């Protein structure tokens, strides 16, 4: 069994042409906007958690008054 190596078929001129072609860059999101959005989402989640905590505590307090009175 013989092994034949692949030859580099691209010429130096072709390599120069490919290096000059600029690939379109993807639009990068604004980092400040993303950080602000993350902070706003975190703040709303904290508010929801706090409200759920208050509701659970108030239910426990009301239930304890009803049971022990």
Give residue-wise pLDDT tens across range 11-25: 666 666 666 767 667
- DSSP collapsed to 3 states, 6-67: CCCCCCHHHHHHHHHCCCCCCCCCCHHHHHHHHHHHHHHHHHHHHHHHHHHHHHHHHHHHHH
pLDDT interval class at 69 (50, 70, 90): confident
- Side-chain half-sphere of 26: how many Cα atoms within 13 Å? 2
pTM over 0.85: no
For residue 10, give every residue at least 6 positions away whose Cβ sits within 8 Å of its Cβ, in sequence order, or none. Answer: 18
């Amino acid at each position: 069994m013989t092994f034949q190596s692949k030859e580099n078929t691209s010429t130096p001129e072709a390599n120069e042409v490919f290096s000059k072609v600029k690939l379109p860059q993807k639009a990068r999101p604004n980092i400040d906007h993303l950080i602000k959005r993350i902070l706003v989402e975190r703040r709303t989640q904290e508010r929801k958690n706090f409200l759920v905590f208050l509701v659970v505590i108030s239910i426990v307090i009301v239930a304890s008054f009803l049971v022990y009175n």
